[in-house]
Amino acid sequence: MSQLLSEQKSSASRAETFVVLESSDQTSQFGGLLILSVIAAATGLLVLLAPNMPWSIRIFSIAIVLLTLRFWGGFAVLVAVQLDLLLRETQRSSTFQGPVGMLTVFLIIALLMFINRNRELLKRAASRPLSVIWARIVAALKGEIAFEPARAVREIRRMAGGLIRGVAILTGCVFGSRILLSMLPGRRTLGRDLQQWFLDDTSVARSSLLLVLVAAAWILCNEISWRQLTRDQTRLYLRSVFLVIHHADLRMVVRRGLKLRSRAARGRKDLTAATGPVEPKSIAE
Amino acid sequence: MTALAKWLALASIAGLCLGILREQIGLALLSLSVLLWLLVEWLLFAWRVRIELRALSLERSVNGRSEPTGILWAGRNVSIEVHLRSSIIGIGPLVQIRDVVPENLEVSNRAHDVTIRSRVHSAVFRYEARVLGAGQLRLPGFRIAMRDAQGFFRAERFLPLVQKFRVLPAFMSAGDAQPIVKRINSLPQHGIHRLQRSGMGSELLELREYVPGDPPKSIAWKVSARRDKLMTRQYESEVPVRLQLFVDGSIGTRIGGFGLRLLDQMNFVAASVAKAAISAGDPVGAILFDERGLRRVPSATGDRGFHRLLEALSDFSVNPAPSPDRLTNRLLDAAMSVVAEQFPDLMDARVNHIPFFLFPILPWAQRRLRNRYQLAAVIAHLYRLSPAKQIRLVYDDGLMATYAQHFLSQSGMAWMEPVVTIRSRGFHDGMARMEILSAALARAVSQARDNEVFVVMADLLECVPSLSHLMPAVKMALARHHRVAFVCPSPTFLRPTAESTNIRSLSLPDLLLAAEQTRTRDLASRLQYELRRTGATVSISGEANAIQLVLSEMAIARTGRVAAGGVR
């Protein structure tokens, strides 16, 4: 019986397929292409911003944003777009009310997503000396860099998966934010809304219920996170909580003891005796 | 949450507020969309961390074996294979898995660091590594870093999977010690050698006149008849050649990277010589000495005896607790980085709370103190220290230095900066070591029988002034007709010949090597002069030359000749 079981187990293990993992240093087959696409897309968007500014300032700003891409990813691009909107967009503009506005926002965030996804590639490329980058470009043009079709197919599949997932998330986010924005009180209606809320009889009851719910959710979250801690983490947590509570007293005692000991050691003119013999045992497994 | 996500959130909140206040729909919509995007990514990431990481299991097999303990050999390659299994939903993408390897293991091409780039349910990665030095090798586990595709969130965990290995020293086969050609009438048993002293062997040594008390069996009747007086046959003594190894493991021999320590050179010579001797059937014993005292490995023969000796050398090569040093920033930083790598769970601010303190006010000083509090908490947790001692770790530099040194040493770091302070060569050598060695040698002589070969492997280059303490024991051993050979490891791994001091090129490493070699040669010549006067032989290297020297000494001992010692 046991032999049969072991045979079954071994056949099951044989049937299990293992994917061979790639080293973290492995570069993408489309690395150069992706980097160029990121730079081109970011430049395209930035060129569209602030059309009234002189070209010299625009080129300077674009250069700064592009140079910081590898450190800040899409942050600098987002800030540039936000500044442009802040300075150029008119109040209650109808441009962003309809589907065109939503599509514009969708495209901007898609670009941010594209930049962020390829930030590692930018970092890696920027960390190399120029001569190496140039040599790689020359080698690529000469066709000396080996192209592995199997890996390329895998990467294309991964990229397609990421694209679908990204589009789904972004669509949801843009629609959700549009709905949320329509629910949020505006500057004009804020005073009236607050007045209405205060005058409503059920406000206190609703607030109390909300508070209870928040407290319950907080307790629940704490309980869940406590139960997810490992044994070592819980021990360290208890130790550190104890230490935080008694920190002042313990510190006073320890510092006084050290001061007395160093004074005594100075008296004996033997500083090496101050530490005393310490025999740490091996780390508990 | 990474800095990028924080900055994006900040810009989005600011943009949303401004958009609502200024009634700019586009700005508000963009900012709110980015905020929602961050929220969705966070939710997805949190789900991945909670579900995927918990279901992840890893299994490592070293040379095809996945047992928690085992034996490896220094200087040899090991193949390591890691199997990864997840739940039905799988794991990935963008999960970086790194098998944390100690300094004693050299991995080529960083193949122990892999990334899951697409969702997988079971995966495998393999890498080759080379074990550098004898002692112990502990593979603690895996460091797993999970991040999202955008780089907004990052979670690091350490999955412990401890495997401990005893690393036996490397050795080389020095050829067959038994002569193939039969040069004598009767070959003695395996491990028994002729000695040109009278004994009860089978080979004739000489004839002498009969003296009362000689056994009648030994009377040579034919010769007695020819000479007309009773003559007695004297036979050679047949005894085993006992090899006694003295291995020095003092602080000076343990400093350096694994595989580059003087102790590693001595282990190599000791193991190779022992292998050759045991192949010839000779018993081999050892006396291992350092600042902690002596450890005697009884003489033994056969494969079992050889393995017992190797195991003793391996245990002896494990670095003991380093001597307390002063606390430096480098030591603290090294301890912090190891803690952050091997115990990221314990560095989490949610479980490792830091008490509030106002002073120091300077931000960098405060950050340093906060780091020290965190480090003290982890060390106190690992070594089971009391809370008072944990606070002492923060304020007592000496105590923190001691524990940080121990922690780093036990984590598999070599005895180099910052674990121990490297002082000038010869700092650690002194009278004490000479006295220990002298006592060990004297004791070995007192317990020895005929035909012993004493091989002293010690870092004596810096100890020429204190050699006078050792000389009486060496002279006594030689006077008792034992062979004494000294093997001094060379810090440059090269024999200090005249050619070796030549400057190969004007590059800095070559100039430094030539300077070091010149100094070694000077010290070696003084040492050789002192030891040659007594009749001992000396080899200044831990390579094949030293092994040949010891083997030739053994060959001399086997034949029973008394040859003058020399310099090899």
Of A126, A25, A18, the C-alpha closest to A68 is A126
Of chain B, the percentage scoring pLDDT greater than 70 comes to 90
| Residue B44 · residue A106 · CB < 8 Å | no
Determine whether the interchain pair B391/A26 forms a contact, defined as Cβ–Cβ distance below 8 Å: no
Encoded tokens for B87: 């739940």
Strand-pair category, B452-457 with B242-248: parallel
Residue segments in chain A with a per-residue pLDDT below the cut of 50: 1-2, 4, 11-14, 271, 273-278, 284-285
CA angle, corner B118, sides to B116 and B123, nearest 5? Answer: 55
B360 C-beta neighbours (distance < 10 Å), count: 12
Determine whether the interchain pair B352/A274 forms a contact, defined as Cβ–Cβ distance below 8 Å: no
* Per-residue pLDDT tens over the stretch B211-261: 888 888 888 899 999 988 899 988 776 667 788 899 988 888 888 888 888
Determine whether the interchain pair B402/A246 forms a contact, defined as Cβ–Cβ distance below 8 Å: no
Q: Nearest-CA residue of chain A relative to B119?
A: A158
Higher pLDDT, B430 or B78: B78
pLDDT of amino acid B424: 58
Distance CA A79, CA A65 (A): 10
Q: How many CA atoms lie within 13 A of A158 on its CB side?
A: 19
Residue of A92, A106, A247 with shortest CB distance to B355: A247
| Residue B94 · residue A22 · CB < 8 Å | no
Of A230, A229, A232, the C-alpha closest to A284 is A232
Distance CA B209, CA B212 (A): 10
Of B52, B50, B12, the C-alpha closest to B31 is B12
Distance CA B408, CA B105 (A): 16
User: What is the DSSP secondary-structure string of B14-44?
Assistant: HHHHHHHHTT-HHHHHHHHHHHHHHHHHHHH
Determine whether the interchain pair A243/B37 forms a contact, defined as Cβ–Cβ distance below 8 Å: no
Contacts of B24 in chain A (CB under 8 A): 85-86, 89-91, 93
Q: Nearest-CA residue of chain B relative to A252?
A: B391
Of B443, B451, B407, the C-alpha closest to B560 is B451
pLDDT of amino acid A214: 94
DSSP state of B182: -
Which of B353, B402, B411 is the mutation pick for testing A, counting most A CBs within 10 A? B353
Distance CA A278, CA B273 (A): 39
* Per-residue pLDDT tens over the stretch B127-173: 999 999 888 898 989 988 888 888 888 888 888 888 999 999 988 88
| Residue A263 · residue A271 · CB < 8 Å | no
The beta strand positions in B33-170, using DSSP E, are 57-62, 69-73, 77-85, 95-100, 105-107, 113-116, 122-131, 135-147, 154-168
Contacts of A281 in chain B (CB under 8 A): 383
Range name among A16-25, B341-350, B423-432 with the lowest pLDDT average: B423-432
CA angle, corner B243, sides to B238 and B246, nearest 5? Answer: 155
| Residue B463 · residue B500 · CB < 8 Å | no
- As beta bridge partners, residue B287 has B246, B296
pLDDT band at B566; cut points 50, 70, 90: very low
* Per-residue pLDDT tens over the stretch B373-386: 999 999 999 999 88
pLDDT of amino acid A3: 53
Determine whether the interchain pair A285/B110 forms a contact, defined as Cβ–Cβ distance below 8 Å: no
What are the start-end ranges of the H helices in B131-242?
Answer: 221-227
- As beta bridge partners, residue B95 has B116, B146
Contacts of A234 in chain B (CB under 8 A): 351
pLDDT band at B314; cut points 50, 70, 90: very high
pLDDT of amino acid B560: 60
Q: Nearest-CA residue of chain B relative to A250?
A: B388
DSSP state of B202: E
Quick check: B331 pLDDT over 80? yes
Contacts of B374 in chain A (CB under 8 A): none
Residue of B30, B117, B395 with shortest CB distance to A108: B30
Interface of A with B in 197-216 (CB under 8 A): none
B318 C-beta neighbours (distance < 10 Å), count: 16
* Per-residue pLDDT tens over the stretch A73-96: 888 888 998 888 888 888 777 777
Q: Which residue has the tokens 């990481």?
A: B53
What are the start-end ranges of the H helices in B281-362?
Answer: 302-317, 329-342
Say whether the peptide bond before residue B355 is cis (omega within 30 degrees of 0).
Answer: no
- B123, amino acid identity: A
pLDDT of amino acid B56: 87
- CA distances in angstroms from B498 to A99, B354, B501, B521, listed in the order given: 86, 61, 6, 8
Q: Which helix (H) or strand (E) holds B471?
A: helix B471-479
Of B95, B96, B101, the C-alpha closest to B80 is B101
pLDDT band at B78; cut points 50, 70, 90: very high
Quick check: B514 pLDDT over 50? yes
Between helix A231-245 and helix A247-268 the angle, nearest 10°, is 80
pLDDT of amino acid B313: 92
Cα Rg of chain A (Å, integer): 31
Quick check: B180 pLDDT over 60? no
pTM greater than the 0.80 cutoff = no
Determine whether the interchain pair A174/B29 forms a contact, defined as Cβ–Cβ distance below 8 Å: yes
Residue A261, chain B, CB below 8 Å: the answer is: no
Q: What is the mean predicted confidence (pLDDT) over B362-374?
A: 89
Question: B251: burial class by Cβ within 10 Å (0-12, 13-18, 19+)?
Answer: buried
Q: Which helix (H) or strand (E) holds B268?
A: helix B262-279
Of B188, B191, B190, the C-alpha closest to B199 is B188
| Residue B444 · residue B454 · CB < 8 Å | yes
- A96, amino acid identity: F
Q: What is the mean predicted confidence (pLDDT) over B390-406?
A: 90
pLDDT of amino acid B562: 54
Determine whether the interchain pair A283/B407 forms a contact, defined as Cβ–Cβ distance below 8 Å: yes
Quick check: B568 pLDDT over 50? no
Encoded tokens for B25: 């729909």
pLDDT of amino acid B556: 77
pLDDT of amino acid A273: 44
pLDDT of amino acid B216: 87
- For residue B289, which phi and psi values (nearest 5 degrees)? -135, 145
Determine whether the interchain pair A85/B26 forms a contact, defined as Cβ–Cβ distance below 8 Å: yes
pLDDT band at B564; cut points 50, 70, 90: very low
Determine whether the interchain pair A244/B4 forms a contact, defined as Cβ–Cβ distance below 8 Å: no
Of chain B, the percentage scoring pLDDT greater than 90 comes to 13
Quick check: B205 pLDDT over 60? yes
What are the start-end ranges of the H helices in chain A?
Answer: 2-15, 31-48, 55-67, 69-72, 75-88, 99-117, 119-127, 130-142, 149-183, 190-199, 203-227, 231-245, 247-268
Q: How many CA atoms lie within 13 A of B335 on its CB side?
A: 28
Determine whether the interchain pair A275/B324 forms a contact, defined as Cβ–Cβ distance below 8 Å: yes
Question: B26: burial class by Cβ within 10 Å (0-12, 13-18, 19+)?
Answer: buried
Of A39, A78, A46, A82, the C-alpha closest to A61 is A46
Quick check: B51 pLDDT over 50? yes
Q: What is the mean predicted confidence (pLDDT) over B357-369?
A: 84
Distance CA B455, CA B487 (A): 7
Determine whether the interchain pair B26/A232 forms a contact, defined as Cβ–Cβ distance below 8 Å: no
Residue-averaged pLDDT of chain B: 83
Encoded tokens for B238: 């047949």
Of B539, B540, B434, the C-alpha closest to B484 is B539
Residue of B18, B109, B125 with shortest CB distance to A20: B125
Contacts of B395 in chain A (CB under 8 A): 251, 254-255, 258
Of B124, B56, B60, B125, the C-alpha closest to B92 is B56
* Per-residue pLDDT tens over the stretch A163-212: 898 899 999 998 898 888 887 776 677 777 777 777 777 777 888 888 99
Distance CA B553, CA B241 (A): 10
Determine whether the interchain pair B381/A235 forms a contact, defined as Cβ–Cβ distance below 8 Å: yes
pLDDT of amino acid A278: 47
